[in-house]
Amino acid sequence: MGTLYSIGEVLIDFIPLQKGRALKDVVSFERAPGGAPANVAAAIAKLGGRSAVLTKLGEDAFGDFLLEQLEEAGVDTGHVIRTNEANTGLAFVSLREDGERDFSFYRNPSADLLLTEDEVNASLFKSGDILHFCSVDLVDSPMKQAHVKAIQSAKERGALISFDPNVRLPLWDSPDVCRETILDFIPKAHIVKISDEELAFITGIEDEKEAIDLLFSGDVQAVIYTKGAAGASIYVNNKSIDASGFSVDVQDTTGAGDAFIGALLYRLLDTGADQHELKAVLERNALSILTFANAAGAITTTGKGAISSLPSKKQIEDMMNT
């Protein structure tokens, strides 16, 4: 079975112990490893797959903590670079009454944003592997070039490229720059995962099919469209296959999308599909893969935080059998 390489943002989320308060009024927090690429790598490791993170951490106590947490989750941290140039990224979070989160970031810039193209080992990737990336912070950081190099070398060496734009709209100074960056990176991926809200924002088009059609550019072979509690669809070979979501008692939706795409990519790794087989494999197994991923996403919403509530394979299978 191949390896999932997850490149990009890895940081610590400080999650509030008091809900429904403005960030300035939260008095205590607990630490949780975060950043979508870290969550996806952890999701795959928890399912028994092989995953590694390609990122940079500060030579500080928070970097030590993240490294320990990722190792404990079963993620290969052998490619993580440590630096004195900058601190490990931190994000303080407050949970509003409506369940939405507000963030305050401490990264000026943080070490992960300083990963350079020279620090990406081009010979790492092989056919059967998947490189997964997210767009957060791709604007104006050395990390952007690191992503471009990783994507190019992984593709040349036969690996699949997966992209989750992972838009956190309030965090972008300019929505136009955010949209342009995402539209610039979509054609570089074979698989694009996008939520209903992101699709509307990125394309500005109401009609689902019309908006999804716009994403099929460059190397894109499949679009995975997620709809929260309603489940998800795979668009491939001019078809769409839908699977409804699982009904669960939701505690915290943090990490649902990462658990979902992690589970989907785990199933894909398991097939060993390469760039030529991707479409056929996805179409043939669409319903089973989507149901598996929907269960992973749903289970993650039943616990607090992202990595701590990721499901095992047994939990997913139990949910699928109920």
Collapsing DSSP to helix, strand or coil, 48 comes out as coil
Q: Which residues contact 321 (CB under 8 A, 6 or more apart)?
A: none
Q: Does 294 bind ligand ADP (CB under 6 A)?
A: yes
- Cα(39)–Cα(98) distance, integer angstroms: 24
Shortest Å, Cβ 194 to ligand ADP: 8
Collapsing DSSP to helix, strand or coil, 304 comes out as coil
- Cα(253)–Cα(268) distance, integer angstroms: 24
| Options 26-34, 207-215, 221-229, 271-279: segment touching ligand ADP (CB under 6 A) | 221-229
Shortest Å, Cβ 242 to ligand ADP: 11
Q: Taking the CB of residue 105, how many other CB atoms lie within 10 A of it?
A: 15
Per-residue mark of binding to ligand ADP, 257-286 (x: CB under 6 A): x--x--------------------------
Shortest Å, Cβ 264 to ligand ADP: 10
- Cα(317)–Cα(320) distance, integer angstroms: 5
Tell the residue number behind the tokens 């070490």, with chain if given: 111
Shortest Å, Cβ 117 to ligand ADP: 28
Nearer to ligand ADP, 45 or 298 (CB): 298
Q: Residue 76 phi/psi, 5° resolution?
A: -75, 120
State the Rg of the chain over Cα: 18
Nearer to ligand ADP, 179 or 227 (CB): 227
Cis, peptide link before residue 16, omega less than 30° from 0: no
# chain residues binding ligand ADP, by CB under 6 A = 19
Per-residue mark of binding to ligand ADP, 222-251 (x: CB under 6 A): ----xxxx-xx------------xx-x-x-
| Options 100-108, 182-190, 255-263, 265-273: segment touching ligand ADP (CB under 6 A) | 255-263
Residues that bind ligand ADP (CB under 6 A): 195, 226-229, 231-232, 245-246, 248, 250, 253, 256-257, 260, 294, 297-298, 301
